[in-house]
């Protein structure tokens, strides 16, 4: 500008200022997707899927991934609720396991109403699997063996007593007239370790999720006995019957999505709800979701909030039936 005549510089400055303003408006703000676990795993996958999908949406914010593990999600929850309540561009990933932990009181006095639920955009389902050379060819075969002698079958699960994997098997056992407390579980770190332990015959069955089965059930390695879905799933598990088909009415969807702090301004919350409301039709999203081992499930805003509340109530009721929680 110093080489331009003063009268020309005076005319150009307003135009340059306007161009800078328009550029600032056009450039989407950077946002943070906070993952309440270490890198890898389903929570990480959820943020990456959200980032991929939003990249296909014009003017959507760019998502930066951050990790805040600890306390099976409690550290991230309490950090947002106590210190970062109003951040307009911070999302936190969750799954049905997060809702279960809240229902079990693993986050202290935290409640599902403490945050703002933005969107769920995928789901997988519970499943039960054995080795490909196992004598148990159906869910009925496995349940029959457990009825005869629960001690002869070690069941691998992610987490401990009261986890999603534990409750899935406990529900199946109860329907078969088996006391869940007599089942023998081995607590392992995540789905990958479950399948490694089963291949080494340290456990004879695993209670996990379909996304884990898709990652680990290679040809000749694993037999999935049942999926805990309302109906048979499309794709690679299309030939696997549901537990319902085999006489055990247990359905366990594992939804995946994001939430925000409780004091996020309404306009910012609505902006994010709107961004995810169109995710289902974003170019290539269905393929991304399939590659992530997830199935269609989309809820946003008030509809998701209502779903989360109902699910928490269901989990709390189930947990009380198994003596996992006490009255507060």
Walking along the chain (328 residues) 10 residues at a time, the average pLDDT comes out as 51 48 50 88 85 78 89 90 96 93 89 96 94 96 95 88 90 94 85 84 93 76 94 91 97 95 97 90 86 90 97 91 71
- Torsion sign over Cα 9, 11, 14, 17: negative
Taking Cα atoms as reference points, which of 124, 123, 119, 122 lies closest to residue 285?
122
CA distance 242 to 247: 9
Q: Which residues of 115-149 are buried (b: 16+ CB within 10 A; e: fewer)?
A: bbbbbbbbbbbbbbbbbeebebeebeebbebbeee
Block residue for tokens 């349940």? 143
Report how far apart, in Å, the C-alpha atoms of 291 and of each of 46, 171, 211, 240 are.
12, 30, 10, 19
Instruction: Please report the pLDDT score of residue 19 as a whole number.
Output: 45
Q: Is CATH 3.40.190.10 the right assignment for the domain spanning 125-246? A: yes
Q: Is CATH 1.10.274.100 the right assignment for the domain spanning 30-123+253-321? A: no
Instruction: Please report the pLDDT score of residue 16 as a whole number.
Output: 47
Residues in CB range of 310: below 8 A, 6 or more apart: none
Structure tokens belonging to residue 31: 């946002």
Q: Which residues of 217-251 are buried (b: 16+ CB within 10 A; e: fewer)?
A: beeeebbbbbbbbeeebeeebeebebbbeeebebb
Q: Which residues of 267-276 are buried (b: 16+ CB within 10 A; e: fewer)?
A: eebeebbebb
Eight-class DSSP state of 280: G
Structure tokens belonging to residue 198: 């089963």
Instruction: Please report the pLDDT score of residue 6 as a whole number.
Output: 57
Q: Where exactly are the structural domains of the chain?
A: 30-123+253-321, 125-246
Taking Cα atoms as reference points, which of 224, 180, 216 lies closest to residue 199?
216
Taking Cα atoms as reference points, which of 50, 36, 48 lies closest to residue 80?
36
With beta carbons less than 8 A apart as the criterion, state whether 164 and 252 touch.
Answer: yes
- Diameter over CA atoms, the chain: 96
Q: Could you please report the per-residue DSSP string of 32-94?
A: EEEESS-SSSHHHHHHHHHHHHHHTSTTPPEEEEEE---GGGHHHHHHHHHH-TT-TTEEEEE
Instruction: Please report the pLDDT score of residue 5 as a whole number.
Output: 56
Instruction: Please report the pLDDT score of residue 40 as a whole number.
Output: 73
H-run or E-run covering 121 = strand 116-131
Instruction: Please report the pLDDT score of residue 25 as a whole number.
Output: 44
pTM of the model: 0.78
H-run or E-run covering 324 = none
């Amino acid at each position: 500008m110093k080489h331009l005549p003063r009268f020309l510089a005076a005319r150009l400055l307003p135009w340059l200022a306007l161009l800078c303003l328009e550029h600032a408006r056009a450039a989407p703000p950077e946002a943070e997707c906070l993952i309440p676990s270490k890198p890898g795993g389903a929570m990480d996958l959820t943020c990456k899927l959200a980032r991929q999908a939003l990249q296909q949406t014009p003017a959507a914010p760019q998502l930066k991934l951050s990790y805040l593990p600890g306390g099976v999600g409690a550290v991230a929850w309490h950090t947002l609720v106590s210190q970062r309540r109003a951040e307009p561009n911070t999302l936190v990933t969750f799954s049905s396991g997060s809702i279960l932990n809240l229902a079990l009181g693993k986050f202290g006095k935290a409640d599902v109403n403490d945050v703002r639920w933005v969107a769920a955009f995928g789901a997988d389902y519970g499943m039960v699997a054995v080795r490909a050379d196992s004598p148990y060819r159906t869910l009925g075969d496995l349940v029959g063996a457990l009825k005869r002698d629960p001690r002869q079958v070690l069941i691998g699960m992610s987490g401990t007593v009261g986890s999603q994997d534990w409750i899935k098997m406990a529900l199946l056992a109860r329907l078969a007239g088996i006391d869940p407390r007599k089942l023998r579980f081995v607590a392992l770190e995540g789905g990958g370790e479950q399948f490694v332990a089963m291949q080494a015959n340290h456990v004879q069955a695993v209670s996990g999720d379909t996304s884990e089965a898709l990652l680990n059930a290679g040809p000749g390695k694993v037999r999935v006995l049942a999926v805990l879905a309302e109906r048979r799933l499309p794709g690679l598990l299309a030939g696997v019957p549901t537990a319902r088909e085999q006489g055990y009415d247990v359905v366990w969807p594992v939804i995946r999505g994001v939430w925000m702090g409780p004091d996020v301004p309404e306009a910012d919350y609505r902006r994010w709800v709107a961004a995810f409301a169109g995710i289902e039709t974003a170019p290539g999203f269905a393929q991304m979701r399939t590659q992530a081992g997830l199935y269609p499930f989309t809820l946003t805003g008030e509809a998701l909030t209502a779903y989360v509340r109902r699910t928490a109530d269901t989990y709390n009721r189930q947990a009380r039936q198994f003596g996992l929680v006490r009255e507060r």
